[in-house]
Structure formats: structure tokens, C-alpha cells
Amino acid sequence: MNKLDAQRQKEIQQAEELLFAGPQALGFAKGLFQGHFVSDWVMPYPRIPAAQQVELDGTLAELRQFLDEHLDPTEIDRNADIPRSVFDGLGRVGVLGMTAPKEYGGRGFTQMANCKILEEIGRRCASTSVFVNAHHSIGIRALLLFGTHEQKQRWLPKLSTGEQLGAFALTEREAGSDAANVQMQALPSEDGSHFVLNGEKRYITNAAIADVLTVMARTPVPGSDKTSITAFLVTPDMPGFEMLEARMPKMGIRGTATGRFALRDVKVPKENILGPPGKGLKVALTVLDFGRTTFGACCTGAAKTCLRLAVEHANTRKQFNKTLGNFHLVQKKIARIAADAYAMEAMTTITAALIDRGLEDYMLETAMLKVFTTERLWECINDVFQIYGGSAYFVDLPLERMMRDARINQIGEGANEVLTSFIALVGMRGPGMEFKEIYDTMIKPTRERGFAKAWTAGKHRLGAAVRVPEIPVRSAQLRGFANQLGRLIWRFNVAVNRALITYREPILDMQLLQERIANAAMDLFAATCVLSRYDAELEFAQRNGNSSSLDHCAAGLFLRQSFRRIRHFLAGLTDNDDKSVLATANSILGKPGS
């Protein structure tokens, strides 16, 4: 086996271990890749139970009042600091332990309700929403998900109220996008009572203000020469904890304290291990799934602010004797922001509900949500920036700050390129394995039990190839959209099958193809969420005799634009300039064979 093959085998083994723990219910996104519309996960549109809605409304009112009175995003950006009073206030409202169980001092909110809270903060100040995410969505998430009762009892009460703050430390110099390449070492002591940690972490939000950090480090696998990753709770008062740079100066989300630290022979008791030893990568990726959900909520909030600002300016600024809102090229931007903001909210709500309703494997949906909402928000900010013209460039308006703040979204918690490739590959794995079964049996018909498995796989593939899935909308008005969506899911499945049959194993490296498949899948998911929300709103409006036509225009527009994009992505699978793109890049990069 050459070095490349060995590396590929290692990656596949790691992925297998991480992703495919055992039989699980078919999720919505994986279903799409198999040509199914698993409607139960997405329709009807999820609603927060009435009793919890009352509690959420009360908390939102309290939060809004606090933010109106005490949050100054401009000052936070200028001073590159979020005042302690803001942390304390958020703690009092319950934001810092929103989803922690009540028995540990939290508010016991669902992920869906929590997303409404984050949307509200994301509307106003990205520094503050990233701080909250770093503390609550990822900082204390491993403790919430994988901590033992004793660990939760010991650590959570202070972390839930904000008396103590949390951080999540995965990234290192050699472990950025390649999260599995963590180099920080954790060696067990001879008596087994503790681990000794050595190494450095960088780009860690809240590192310098956190009282407890979830740190990923590499531990030996007992009885072998292998190593794997384990999650530890580390506190900065442990001897050997050295803050190398408390606040790395940066372009956006300047209020957050992004730091670098070293652990030098830090003794961490074995009681501080979170989750199973050696399963830290799975712990980390599950934690990030939660972070990506609230990322979606924060982007939704920011997109709504873009819409508000765009409308305000377009209705007041006059040029050529008309307000800007009279020009079609301005209208086009405003309509698109409205459509995208509607979709971002719908997608966030449905993804959060998947977690609340106990879908075990939601990594594809959270990855889709993260890529989709961060890319759309970037477009929204660019559009509203353009509508404001020269004034957007000056610091008395919030737009230049919003633009600087939003840029990290496409990089942090999984760069969008990495997640795009991940979406395509994990999604295609199901149908890919079925084709492999069929192919292996064809070339080796004597394989034991092979024929039966291949027959089942063949039936699945064939079934999906001839069946256009039905989309169960309730409103007759939406049947046309539902039929179009069903046909596009069918076309998507045919395209995935064709790509798998045509390219087989090399598809693993064909990122331009993967990007089109992932983009089509993301738009199919987004369109589904929009249709589900639109359907629920129409039903509600009919029952109550009113109609929110503004929102419905945006929903209809989103569906039209999304369907057009999906057709474009699928057409690009066969009609593209990929060879020329790669040849040009290779020749410029000085790659051999170009």
C-alpha cells in the first residue's frame, strides 16, 4: 500500500468510526440522497409547545429590554471588549444556561427555543452572539451531552448562570480544518489518577475569560501503539496553564477574546475526562453540530437586520428625484434579502427541531444549515452595503462592522469548503454502498450472502429511480411548488446515481462535482423548510382569517429562485469547465503534469 492509500484508509477508518455507529433512523438529508422525502422530520412545520412559548416570550421580552438598555455593539467593537456587565446581564436572563437542565441551574429550553434567543442577539451584535455560542453552544456542550451526573453537578451550576464562563478548544496550528490532526498530548500518569497535557491551542474564543475549557488532546490507545483524541475539562488555575496571547487583535467580532494558550505538563485528573476516552473526535464533532445550529439562528437575526436597514434606506434616500426603492435593481436586492431571511429562519427552526425530536444523526442537516446561512448572510450584507452606497463605508453606520463581523462565519466551526465536501460525501455514502454491493456481486457472483444483499440494494436504487416522491403539503395553493420539489428530488437522485456509476472511487477527490451535489442538496433542504413553513402559515392564516402576504411573497420567491438554482447545479454536473479550471490552477500552482 502506498502512502496515499494508507492515508485514505486511515481517513475512511476514522470516518467510519465517527459516523456510522450503528443502525439509525433515516434522517431527512440522507433520505434526499436516496431519492426519499422523509416527511415526518420536516412536516408539519414544528411549533414550540404553548406552555414553553409563554416562557420563551417572557424571556425574549426580558432579553430585549436588557439588550436595548445595556448592549452597545459599536462600543464593543471600538473597545474590542464585551463589558463584564453584559455577561452578568445575559446570565441573569438565563441566556448562558438556556438549554442546561433546570436541576443544574439552567433554563431547560429546547434547541428550537434557544435558537430564538440567539436570533435576537444575532440581530444586534455578532461579538455578543459569538461569545454566547462559544460559551453555551460549544463551551459547555460536551459537559451537557457527555458529562456524568457528578461532572454536571460539579461544574454546571456556575456555568449555567454565567458566574463562570466556558470555552471550547480544538484548534491548533496543525489542526485547523483537519480537526483529527490534534497534536496536544495527554499521557496517563503511572498510577492512572491523572493525565499530563502538553501542547498549544490557538484561535480559541473566550480562552482568556473562561473558567473552564473543554480541551481536545491526543491520548494513547491502551494495548497498542496508536493514539486517539480525548476530551478534557481544564481550568486555567491548573499549574502549567499559560496564556500566550489573551486577545489576538482581529478584523471582526472584535469584542470576543480570541486567544492562544499553552499547556505545559498540566496535570488533569482523570475525573475531568468528558465522554468515552479515545472518542474525543466524536465528542468534538457532536458539539460542533450544536454550534452550527445556533450559527444559523445568529445569521438569521443578522439577515433580518439587513432587511430592516435596506428598507429604511430605500424608502428615504432620494436620487434622480425618486427614493432608491423605486429602482428595480434595488428592489431585486431587497426581495432577495427578504426571501433568504425567510428561508434561513425556516431552516434553523427545522434543524433545531430535529435535535429536539431526537433524530440521532443530524450532522448533514447542521452542516447544510451552517454553509447555507453563512453564505446567504454574506450576500445579504453585500446587498445592503451596496444599497447604502458610500455611506456604508463610514463607521457611523453599522454596515462596515457587520461586514467585518460576518466574514468569520464562512471559516469558523468548519470552513464552508470542508463542510460542502463533507455534505456530498456523507450524503452519497448510502447510495454509494448500495452500488458497491451490486457491483461486487456482479464481478464475484459466488460471494456468500452477496446476492441477497445486492438484490435488496438493486431494488432500493431502482425504486428511487422510478418513483417521484410526494410532498405532503396541506394547502392546495402550494401543490404546484410541492410537485416541482418532488420532481427535483427525483432528478437529484438520478444525478447522484449517475455520478456514482460514472466516477466510482475517484469521486472522493472530485470537489467541483461534490460542490454541485452539495449545493443542490442544500437548496432542496432549504426549499423543503420554506415550503413547510409557508404551508403552516397559510393554514394558520386561513383559520384566523388573516394573511401575512408580505412573508408569503418572500416564500414564493425563495422557492422559485431555489428551484432555478437546483436546476443550474444539476445541469453543471455535465456541462462545466472543470477540466479547464483545474488545468489553469495546476499550471499556476506549478503542479507536475499540468
* Residues designated catalytic: 413
Nearer to ligand FAD among residue 38 and residue 169 (C-beta): 169
Q: Is 501 in contact with 435 (CB distance < 8 Å)? A: yes
- 189-214 b/e with 16+ CB inside 10 Å = b? eeeeebbbbbbebbbbbbbbbbbbbb
| Residues between 390 and 409 that touch ligand FAD (CB under 6 A) | 408
Residue closer to ligand FAD (CB basis): 406 or 457: 406
* Among 166-174, 238-246, 267-275, 330-338, the segment contacting ligand FAD (CB under 6 A): 166-174
Q: How are beta strands 227-234 and 212-220 bridged, if at all?
A: antiparallel
Residue nearest to ligand FAD (CB): 176
- Residue 258 in contact with ligand FAD, rule: CB under 6 A: yes
Task: Determine the size of the site formed for ligand FAD (CB under 6 A).
Answer: 21
* 289 part of the interface to ligand FAD, by CB under 6 A: no
- Spatial neighbors of 304 by CB under 8 A, at least 6 apart, are 119, 123, 341
Q: Rank residues 86 and 419 by Cβ distance to ligand FAD and give the closer one.
A: 419
CB atoms within 10 A of CB 500: 21
Whole-Å CA distances, 129 to 136, 309, 331, 531? 10, 19, 30, 28
Q: Which of 27, 89, 301, 412 binds ligand FAD (CB under 6 A)?
A: 412
Instruction: List the interface residues with ligand FAD, window 505-564 (CB under 6 A).
Output: none
Judged by beta carbon, residue 147 or residue 255, the one nearer ligand FAD is: 255
Q: Are 484 and 563 in contact (CB under 8 A)?
A: yes
Distance (Å) of CA 501 to CA 391, 446, 467, 497? 53, 22, 19, 6
Distance CA 200, CA 529 (A): 41
The angle at the Cα of 313, spanning 75 to 526, to the nearest 5 degrees, equals 85
> C-alpha grid cell for residue 228?
486517539
Member of 41, 45, 195, 203 binding ligand FAD (CB under 6 A): 203
Q: How far is it, in rounded angstroms, from Cα 431 to Cα 457? A: 8
* Residues 348-367, interacting with ligand FAD (CB under 6 A): none
Burial of residue 409, with CB atoms counted within 10 A of its CB: 0-12 exposed, 13-18 middle, 19 or more buried: buried
Of the candidate residues 13, 65, 74, 177, the single one contacting ligand FAD (CB under 6 A): 177
- Give the shortest CB-304-to-ligand FAD separation in angstroms: 23
- Among 96, 169, 197, 234, which residue sits at the site for ligand FAD (rule: CB under 6 A)? 169
Q: Toward ligand FAD, which CB reaches closer, 170 or 399?
A: 170
> Any contact of residue 259 with ligand FAD (CB under 6 A)?
no
* Distance, C-alpha 536 to centroid of its chain: 25
Q: Residue 326 or 410: which CB sits closer to ligand FAD?
A: 410
Q: Does 140 bind ligand FAD (CB under 6 A)?
A: no
Q: Does 171 bind ligand FAD (CB under 6 A)?
A: yes
* Among residues 44, 83, 101, 176, the one that binds ligand FAD under rule CB under 6 A: 176
Cell digits of residue 398: 453599522
Q: Which of 17, 72, 200, 417 binds ligand FAD (CB under 6 A)?
A: 417
Q: Which stretch binds ligand FAD (CB under 6 A): 76-84, 198-206, 340-348, 457-465?
A: 198-206
Report how far residue 345's alpha carbon sits from residue 558's, in angstroms, rounded to the nearest whole number. Answer: 12
31 neighbors 39 (Cβ within 8 angstroms): no
* Contact region with ligand FAD (CB under 6 A), list: 50-58, 64-72, 163-171, 399-407: 163-171
Q: Which helix H or strand E contains 216, and what residues bound it? A: strand 212-220
CA angle (139, 205, 77) in 5-degree steps: 130
What pairing do the DSSP bridges indicate for beta strands 212-220 and 166-169? Answer: parallel
> Given the complex with ligand FAD, which of 281 and 353 has the nearer CB atom?
281
> One symbol per residue from 207 to 246: x for binding ligand FAD (CB under 6 A), - otherwise; what is it?
----------------------------------------
Cell numbers given for 162: 454565567
Q: Residue type for 294, please?
A: T
Sort 96 into a burial class: Cβ within 10 Å, 0-12 / 13-18 / 19+. Answer: buried
If DSSP codes are grouped into helix, strand and coil, which group holds residue 367? helix
Interface with ligand FAD (CB under 6 A), residue from 413, 434, 523, 537: 413
Q: Binding segment for ligand FAD among 67-75, 95-103, 384-392, 412-420 (CB under 6 A)?
A: 412-420
Give the distance, in angstroms, between the CA of residue 559 and the centroid of all CA atoms in the same chain.
22
Shortest distance, CB of residue 579 to ligand FAD, whole angstroms? 19
Residue with cell 447542521: 366
Residue pair 37/489 in contact (Cβ under 8 Å)? The answer is yes
Tell me if 559 sits within 8 A of 480, measured CB to CB.
Answer: no
- Min dist CB 120 to ligand FAD, Å, is 22
Which residues contact residue 117 at a Cβ distance below 8 angstroms, ignoring those fewer than 6 apart?
56, 59, 60, 63, 95, 98, 109, 297
Closest approach, Cβ 543 to ligand FAD, in A, equals 44
Q: Which of 34, 111, 164, 205 binds ligand FAD (CB under 6 A)?
A: 205
Residues 229, 231, 232: CA angle, nearest 5 degrees: 130
Residue selected from 80, 238, 262, 415 as contacting ligand FAD according to rule CB under 6 A: 415
107-136 residues in contact with ligand FAD (CB under 6 A) are 134
Please identify, among the stretches 25-33, 200-208, 429-437, 441-449, the one whose residues bind ligand FAD according to the rule CB under 6 A.
Answer: 200-208
**204: contact with ligand FAD by CB under 6 A:** yes
The interface region with ligand FAD, picked from 6-14, 170-178, 496-504, 548-556 by CB under 6 A, is 170-178
d(CA 130, CA 243): 21
76 binds ligand FAD, rule: CB under 6 A: no
CA distance 286 to 280: 10
472 binds ligand FAD (CB under 6 A): no
Least spacing, CB of residue 416 vs ligand FAD, in Å:
7
Q: How far is the CB of 485 from ligand FAD (least distance, A)?
A: 30
Residue type, 66: F
Q: Which stretch, 230-238, 295-303, 410-418, 563-571, contacts ligand FAD (CB under 6 A)? A: 410-418
| Of 168, 342, 492, 569, the one binding ligand FAD by CB under 6 A | 168
Using CB under 6 A, list all residues that contact ligand FAD: 134, 168-171, 176-177, 203-205, 250, 253, 258, 408, 411-413, 415, 417-418, 421
